[in-house]
Amino acid sequence: MMKKCLGIGLFITVFWVDVCADSLPAKPVLVAPVATITTAKPVFQWQALAGALAYKLVLNDAETRWINQVVTSEQAQCAAGEALCKFIAPVALPVNSYLWSLKAKNAQGYGLAASKRFRRGAPPDRRGDRRRIVVSYGHFHAS
């Protein structure tokens, strides 16, 4: 198979660099989070890429960059051939809409980024049964 390369050089000096598109890592396949989640510290998951040494994870909302971190394959728990990489958000996220992007890095550099949107919604009401307890003459009654 022929490599698709872009040669970059200067005519004055003897300096030439080939940047080959197929030597960079592929675009990652993002798994989670997507849609709406309720946990404040989501677990980011993506399919591991062969040869990836690290991944750059960026998380933004409309106003703030919440995460801008390089995560090694070891930190993402996928260096030993696991199918999924996992990374827990280091910060608690408020209820809002977010865009997360991820790109892989190998010995040649970074590949293209993949992105997904998700919403951090309010956690479910866990107060359970809302029956009223009435105290009447020392007796308890549920209504």
CA distances from 1 to 17, 22, 24 (A): 20, 10, 15
SS3 15: strand
Structure tokens given for 37? 């989640």
Residue 120 has pLDDT above 80, yes or no: yes
Q: Region 15-42: what's the mean pLDDT?
A: 83
Question: Among candidates 43, 32, 50, which has minimal Cα distance to 111?
Answer: 50
pTM of the model as a whole: 0.72
Confidence grade of residue 11 (pLDDT, cut at 50, 70, 90): very low
Structure tokens given for 107? 């010995």
- 63-83 pLDDT, tens digit each: 999 999 999 999 999 987 789
**Residue 138 carries which DSSP code?**
T
